[in-house]
A and B are shown apart, each in its own frame.
Chain A
Amino acid sequence: MTLAPETTDLKIELQLENGWFTVCELARLLPGRGVAALLPDGRQAALFRDRSGKLYAIDNRDPFGGAAVLSRGLTGTHQGRPFVASPLLKQRFDLESGVCLDDESVRVATYEVRAS
């Protein structure tokens, strides 16, 4: 894997109710690792980037443990679905739908995200 600094100055943006919200430079996101963003209304989003460069954003709060730590979990794929495993008690959340793969009655919010 190459982790060469990005040559472009693309920014990561999240779709909120009133338009696209700029979070940070794309280069801040390591493939396979997340970062957390503070949203204007106080919510927190966890942003991830996979090896192919695809971006994902879900709510940062672990609904089981309550702490805002999903951005610090390990990512991976399960049956073709990208997920993050919470660092607290390891429940996995689908990065596209927010559904918990270990307990489908639980899901976290997802956000639309792009690099532009």
Chain B
Amino acid sequence: MTATPEATEATPTIVLVGHGMVGQRFLEALAARGMTATHRVVVLCEEPRPAYDRVALTSYFSGKTPEDLSMTDMEFIETHGIELYVGDPAVSVDREAKKVTARSGQVFEYETLVLATGSYPFVPPVPNKDAQGCFVYRTIEDLLAIEEYAKTRTTGAVVGGGLLGLEAAGALKGLGLTSHIVEFAPRLMPVQVDEGGGAALLRTIEDMGLSVHTGVGTQEIVVDEAGAVTGMKLSDGSELATDMVVFSAGVRPRDQLARDCGLTVGERGGITVDEQCRTVSDPHVFAIGECALASDGRVYGLVAPGYEQAETAAATIAADEAEELTFTGADLSTKLKLLGVDVASFGDAHGTAEDCLDVVYSDSRAGLYKKLVIGRDGTLLGGILVGDAEAYGTLKAFTGSVPPVSPESLVLPAGAGAPVQLGPSALPDEAIICSCNNVTKGTIRGAVTDHQCTTVPEVKKCTKAGTTCGSCVKVLGQLVTAELEASGVEIDKGLCGCFSQTREELYEIVLALRINTYQDLLDRYGRDGAKGGDGCEICKPAVASIIASLAPTIGASGYVLEGEQAALQDSNDHFLANLQKNGSYSVVPRIPGGEITPEGLIVIGEIARDFGLYTKITGGQRIDMFGARVEQLPLIWTRLVDAGFESGHAYGKSLRTVKSCVGQTWCRYGVQDSVRMAIDLELRYRGLRSPHKLKSAVSGCARECAEAQSKDFGVIATSAGWNLYVGGNGGATPRHADLLAQDLSDAELIKLIDRFLMFYIRTADRLERTSTWLERIPGGLDHVRDVVVEDSLGICEELESLMTAHVAHYADEWATTINDPEKLARFVSFVNAPDTPDPVVGFVPERDQIKPDLPLLTIGHRPLEGSAQR
């Protein structure tokens, strides 16, 4: 909104209509070419705020504020003397007089006019489409209105099952609504995926709790007397009850301003432009972004082509002959940003090229579908990925070339015989890594070699790669690391800013030198600036865990609240309970093997009732009691300990549960006593601090009812003994465990698990589960088998004796704590008012129990990437 005082009639003026994503990029492209110094630049912006990141719009619902989404730096606008009129759209253009009139009445003469008016959401012409409760999904204002309306409603429906429709439906669900998607086509995302991909996608979306109605159209919006939405009539005659409707049935170019001043527009809309983005009707007028009908006859609804058009127009206006950019078409690759669903398509996804072949891998049970389209000569032409889009960045970059490995290996899941993963280092320099910003691999390498960037954030800043949709950031990271390694820059593999050693190296130091305090370790082995300091939140719990794993051997206390150790523990370990979102805690007593007596159940029931706790059976075959205030923890645990319960370590990076099936004792198929073995194992390894949590299970026969193959160490009975599986994982990246040894006796089994766990604890990184550890360490499973079965390193005796010491020194942390008045004094909400409960911790009723009172918590969640670790 700054007027340039020097601007005189003589200065040539560029007027930009529309300050969206593409408009902003155009301004940056002008500035980069020095045009803002020689021209007066006027921007008419219709929305009440300057350009923001529309691509990331939905992240508003996960806590991003409108300010976070802003793409416009006021300093940029000011330094370049750009006149930005916010909330003042252009209403007419007089091409003869070369003048634009804004709604405020201001008139601007132009030398060059650039239209970047974007699109508007298409709303099908059904009765009551404008009723109260009907919305579109395009601007921040739309989202604010949806959020407000949803506050008092319970159900929402989205019309349109495309990319945006799914995003909108996910957002409605995130607002706590029961959500429906109504799609006219027979499958979801019909533009991007084919039938097989649609089926896998459908399963995943339904598993997320969204109801999908495909192959039906919306015929009418049903309203009540007050005119508010109550439902919709569908083309198959059915009626869907809903409190609100969000239309997401595609977009149309906003070309009215252009039509009104006689510019040529396409049959289906869009301002017709040539390869330079100049309108075909008027050499003084350009159109870029979603309002433009490009020379290849398409209107692009993605931001990357818009950015390319912005650069092209700016270069043309600057008459920059050195550049001579043209826009002749663009790639339509997309990746859905919706949390929890991986869907991507790139290149010629539908295989329209002549003579092309498909390579398809599909597992609809697991919601996986991957298709590659390959040309006759082996060129990768395009593809579709549903359920696992890990390879998207690399595959997209390979599109148009012959990949150096067989196409099958690119789509098979890890573990299904897929050979070596194809890394981005195999890509040619011209490969586009970031398609949003058109950045090649060569440019990224250049950022590292010529511009001295050493981190991903630096490379992002330098090249703009990864700053838009974010889908290329993973590949970007791999490239930066590879480039740094190649250029001989030493990559700091240290644990954190305080230690240059890895966790494994610190473990060896602690064990070899019997160092038993964190401060001693920091002062002797910390980095120079860190010695004598306070450490950080990364190394403190990691070192505390190493010291605790080795406690009896190195002469430290095994009690995690003792002395210095109390200050090192994560908050959960510090209170021996799990922190919940409103500041209350959960309580999980150990129930070994999942076996519990009726008396035990009654005690838990009584305690939960007396303290008003929420109870739930966990996924780990035990009972969790939620909603305890910090000052109630000792009282609850006194009663649990009295009844013979002990800590379940639900809060620790340590053994969680050993699940069991009922086994031979009752089950007609069982061949061993799986319950007894599960109890034995759980009691043996309880309290063992490790790099990450440890889970186990024992099944009584090959039917595997205890799901042992999804555990860090799983045991399956055979008629001859036990089979031991290791490295399994549920959670975010499931992995089936690998068979380590067969037909073991009880004693052999336990000896092998002792060795395996101690070897893992010794060599794993912080927060590395056994599954990732097994995949990372050189030699993988074979190496582990050599070490723990064949004793190739000659360390088995030591591993066993470390475990024996742990088992012999185990003591229940809660029993110790409730008998120690000094420790108990810490279990208060307020140090100066020990009897006052924290007033922020509140509850409201739900389904006959309690739940946290969230309205009391003001701002809402804003998770930090990758940090929500227990």
Which chain A residues border B863 with CB–CB below 8 Å? 89
Report the separation of the CA atoms of residues A91 and B68 in the bound assembly, to the nearest whole angstrom: 16
Number of B residues near A (Cβ < 8 Å) is 58
| Cβ contact within 8 Å between A105 and B859 | no
| Cβ contact within 8 Å between B582 and A67 | yes
| Cβ contact within 8 Å between B537 and A69 | no
Which chain B residues border A35 with CB–CB below 8 Å? 830-831
The reply on A85 being an interface residue by CB < 8 A is yes
Q: Can you list 5 A-B contacts with CB-CB less than 8 angstroms, sorted by A residue number? A: A66-B858, A66-B860, A67-B581, A74-B541, A90-B868
Which chain A residues border B858 with CB–CB below 8 Å? 63, 66
Which chain B residues border A75 with CB–CB below 8 Å? 534, 537
Shortest Cβ gap from A40 to chain B (Å) = 10
Q: Given contacts A65-B857, A89-B868, is CB(A28)–CB(B566) below 8 Å?
A: no
| Cβ contact within 8 Å between B534 and A76 | yes
Which chain B residues border A66 with CB–CB below 8 Å? 582, 840, 854, 856-860
| Cβ contact within 8 Å between B534 and A50 | yes
Binding site for B on A (CB under 8 A): 1, 3, 22-24, 28, 30-33, 35-38, 42, 44, 47, 50-51, 61, 63-69, 72-80, 82, 85, 87-92, 102-103, 105
| Chain B: CB-nearest residue to A63 | B859
Selected contact of A36 from candidates B530, B538, B579, B830, CB within 8 Å? B830
B 408-422 to A, binary, CB cutoff 8 A, 1 in contact else 0:
000000000000000
| Cβ contact within 8 Å between A36 and B862 | no
Which chain B residues border A102 with CB–CB below 8 Å? 864
| Cβ contact within 8 Å between A51 and B519 | yes
Which chain B residues border A78 with CB–CB below 8 Å? 497, 536
Selected contact of A92 from candidates B67, B537, B571, B574, CB within 8 Å? B537
Binding site for A on B (CB under 8 A): 63, 65, 67-68, 497-498, 517-519, 529-530, 532-538, 540-541, 563-564, 566-568, 570-572, 574-575, 579, 581-583, 825, 829-833, 836, 838-841, 854, 856-864, 867-869
Which chain A residues border B583 with CB–CB below 8 Å? 67-69
Report the separation of the CA atoms of residues A22 and B67 in the bound assembly, to the nearest whole angstrom: 39
Report the separation of the CA atoms of residues A5 and B250 in the bound assembly, to the nearest whole angstrom: 69
The 5 closest A-B pairs by CB, nearest first: A66-B857, A76-B536, A87-B571, A32-B567, A67-B583
Q: Given contacts A1-B517, A24-B831, A76-B535, is CB(A64)–CB(B862) below 8 Å?
A: yes
Report the separation of the CA atoms of residues A18 and B541 in the bound assembly, to the nearest whole angstrom: 39
| Cβ contact within 8 Å between B862 and A38 | no
Chain B CB within 10 A, most for which of A3, A85, A102: A85
| Chain A: CB-nearest residue to B570 | A74
| Chain B: CB-nearest residue to A31 | B567
Shortest Cβ gap from A15 to chain B (Å) = 15
| Cβ contact within 8 Å between B536 and A77 | yes
Which chain A residues border B825 with CB–CB below 8 Å? 28
| Cβ contact within 8 Å between B859 and A74 | no
Selected contact of B575 from candidates A61, A68, A72, CB within 8 Å? A72
Q: Given contacts A32-B534, A74-B541, is CB(A89)–CB(B566) below 8 Å?
A: no
Selected contact of B859 from candidates A44, A64, A82, CB within 8 Å? A64
Report the separation of the CA atoms of residues A74 and B567 in the bound assembly, to the nearest whole angstrom: 8
| Cβ contact within 8 Å between B864 and A89 | yes
Known pairs A32-B567, A72-B579 / 6 extra A-B pairs, C-beta < 8 Å: A30-B567, A32-B540, A36-B838, A38-B829, A85-B537, A89-B863
Q: Is the interface of B mostly helix, strand, loop or mixed?
A: loop
Q: Given contacts A68-B840, A76-B540, is CB(A33)–CB(B574) below 8 Å?
A: yes
Q: Given contacts A42-B839, A105-B67, is CB(A88)–CB(B581) below 8 Å?
A: yes
| Cβ contact within 8 Å between B831 and A67 | no
Selected contact of B533 from candidates A47, A51, A67, CB within 8 Å? A51
Which chain B residues border A44 with CB–CB below 8 Å? 830, 838, 840
Report the separation of the CA atoms of residues A32 and B544 in the bound assembly, to the nearest whole angstrom: 13
Shortest Cβ gap from A39 to chain B (Å) = 9
Report the separation of the CA atoms of residues A37 and B833 in the bound assembly, to the nearest whole angstrom: 7
| Cβ contact within 8 Å between B832 and A38 | yes
Q: Given contacts A37-B831, A61-B840, A66-B860, is CB(A88)–CB(B537) below 8 Å?
A: no
| Chain B: CB-nearest residue to A68 | B840
Shortest Cβ gap from B462 to chain A (Å) = 21
Report the separation of the CA atoms of residues A78 and B498 in the bound assembly, to the nearest whole angstrom: 9
Which chain A residues border B838 with CB–CB below 8 Å? 36, 44, 68
| Cβ contact within 8 Å between B831 and A28 | yes
Which chain A residues border B63 with CB–CB below 8 Å? 64
Shortest Cβ gap from A42 to chain B (Å) = 7
| Chain B: CB-nearest residue to A50 | B534
Report the separation of the CA atoms of residues A106 and B857 in the bound assembly, to the nearest whole angstrom: 16
Shortest Cβ gap from B517 to chain A (Å) = 7
Report the separation of the CA atoms of residues A51 and B41 in the bound assembly, to the nearest whole angstrom: 56
Chain B CB within 10 A, most for which of A1, A88, A105: A88
Q: Given contacts A65-B857, A88-B579, is CB(A32)–CB(B864) below 8 Å?
A: no
Report the separation of the CA atoms of residues A36 and B498 in the bound assembly, to the nearest whole angstrom: 27
Which chain B residues border A50 with CB–CB below 8 Å? 534
| Cβ contact within 8 Å between B566 and A37 | no
Which chain B residues border A30 with CB–CB below 8 Å? 566-567
Report the separation of the CA atoms of residues A36 and B829 in the bound assembly, to the nearest whole angstrom: 7
Which chain A residues border B519 with CB–CB below 8 Å? 1, 51
Report the separation of the CA atoms of residues A3 and B823 in the bound assembly, to the nearest whole angstrom: 13
Selected contact of B831 from candidates A3, A23, A82, A90, CB within 8 Å? A23
| Cβ contact within 8 Å between A64 and B574 | no
| Chain A: CB-nearest residue to B517 | A1
Which chain B residues border A42 with CB–CB below 8 Å? 839
| Chain A: CB-nearest residue to B866 | A90
Shortest Cβ gap from A41 to chain B (Å) = 12
Report the separation of the CA atoms of residues A47 and B830 in the bound assembly, to the nearest whole angstrom: 11
Selected contact of A91 from candidates B564, B566, B832, B864, CB within 8 Å? B864
Which chain B residues border A23 with CB–CB below 8 Å? 831-832
Which chain B residues border A63 with CB–CB below 8 Å? 858-859
Selected contact of A33 from candidates B518, B536, B541, B567, CB within 8 Å? B567
Report the separation of the CA atoms of residues A105 and B534 in the bound assembly, to the nearest whole angstrom: 26
Report the separation of the CA atoms of residues A87 and B205 in the bound assembly, to the nearest whole angstrom: 32
Which chain A residues border B575 with CB–CB below 8 Å? 72
Which chain B residues border A24 with CB–CB below 8 Å? 831-832
| Cβ contact within 8 Å between B537 and A3 | no
Selected contact of B572 from candidates A68, A82, A87, A91, CB within 8 Å? A87
